[in-house]
Amino acid sequence: MTLEDLIQAYPDVATYFTYMPQELKSRYTIRTFPPGTIIHQKDYPLDYFGIVCSGDHRVINEFENGNVFMIEKNEPIDFIGEVTILAEKEKTSVTIETLTECVVFMISRKDFEMWIAQDIHFLRLITHKIAYKLYRSSYNRGAKLFYPPNFLLLDYLLKYASLHHIEKTGEITLFKTREGIREELGMTVKTINRTITKLKEDGLIGTRKGKVTMSLEQYQRAKKEIAYYVK
């Protein structure tokens, strides 16, 4: 796939290449990563920059004790390595894993540094994305300390239900393991199981074959419950 093919396939990415230095237009690769691929690992040297043109990936922090915490899940258009490079650090601070098939435009770290030095439009797009993520993180920071597990899990389920169009389908099933929920919410599996039991007793969710379900009626009730917590 050429750069022209990439832009034709994913028109939203075109603006990032508007003022790309001509000499860099022959020094790139375009790779397709299948789901579940580690694009880069925490604490490994970073020698490239990437633009995620399609597909979802997650940013995770891995600890020496084996625990994994999901910092965020990102959709295209997104970047790989921009924070490490702009911070002038040699090694990455997080691990990036694909959730779906991802198409990534890749260029060397040295060429990326030259690119942002010459292209203020591109640099502005990069910094805008970083600022947005920091704003989102700052806005939500403290929720896991301030709110009880019931609120955090219910809020998580409401967002999932909305994303999966519960108002049209009438019901959703959360097809995620307890371990997957733990990584996203930072709770222990024991706390998650206890919270699911409590929410089920309160009639705000159901379960089917071990998976959490939520009907449209439960969804409407849960939204009122969330509103009670945030007053």
pLDDT of residue 33: 97
Mean of the pLDDT values across residues 7-16? 96
Q: Which of 116, 140, 164 is the last residue before a domain boundary? A: 140
Average predicted confidence (pLDDT) for the chain: 89
Cis-peptide into 77, omega within 30 deg: yes
Q: Which of 125, 140, 155 is the last residue before a domain boundary? A: 140
Q: Which of 140, 167, 186 is the last residue before a domain boundary? A: 140
d(CA 102, CA 159) in angstroms, rounded, equals 23
Residue range 140-159, pLDDT digits in tens: 555 555 678 888 889 889 98
Residue range 30-78, pLDDT digits in tens: 999 999 999 999 999 999 999 999 999 988 887 666 667 777 888 899 9
Are both 35 and 149 inside the same structural domain? no
Name residue, tokens 């039991």. Answer: 197
Are both 214 and 118 inside the same structural domain? no
Contact call for residues 203 and 194 (beta carbons, < 8 A): no
Are both 132 and 163 inside the same structural domain? no
Are both 196 and 218 inside the same structural domain? yes
pLDDT of residue 231: 44
d(CA 153, CA 141) in angstroms, rounded, equals 16
Per-residue tokens: 179: 């371990």
Tally of domains within the chain: 2
Share of the chain above pLDDT 70, in %: 92
Contact call for residues 187 and 181 (beta carbons, < 8 A): yes
Are both 161 and 113 inside the same structural domain? no
d(CA 225, CA 228) in angstroms, rounded, equals 5
Mean of the pLDDT values across residues 80-85? 95
Are both 91 and 148 inside the same structural domain? no
Which CATH number belongs to the domain containing residue 207 in this structure?
A: 1.10.10.10
Closest CA to 72 of 99, 49, 50, 51: 99
Which carries the bigger pLDDT value, residue 42 or residue 226?
42
Residue range 85-124, pLDDT digits in tens: 999 999 999 999 998 999 999 999 999 999 999 999 999 9
Which CATH number belongs to the domain containing residue 91 in this structure?
A: 2.60.120.10
Three-state secondary structure string covering 7-53: HHHCHHHHHHHCCCCHHHHHCCEEEEECCCCEEECCCCECCEEEEEE
Are both 110 and 134 inside the same structural domain? yes
Cα dihedral across residues 220, 224, 229, 231: positive or negative: positive
Element (H, E) at 71: strand 68-74
Are both 30 and 123 inside the same structural domain? yes
pLDDT tier, 180 (very low <50, low <70, confident <90, very high otherwise): confident
Are both 113 and 188 inside the same structural domain? no
Are both 37 and 14 inside the same structural domain? yes
Structural domain boundaries enclosing 159? 144-230
Are both 122 and 158 inside the same structural domain? no
- Does the pTM of the predicted model rise above 0.85? no
Contacts of 112 (CB under 8 A, 6+ apart): 48, 49, 81, 85
Are both 165 and 215 inside the same structural domain? yes
Res 186 pLDDT > 90: no
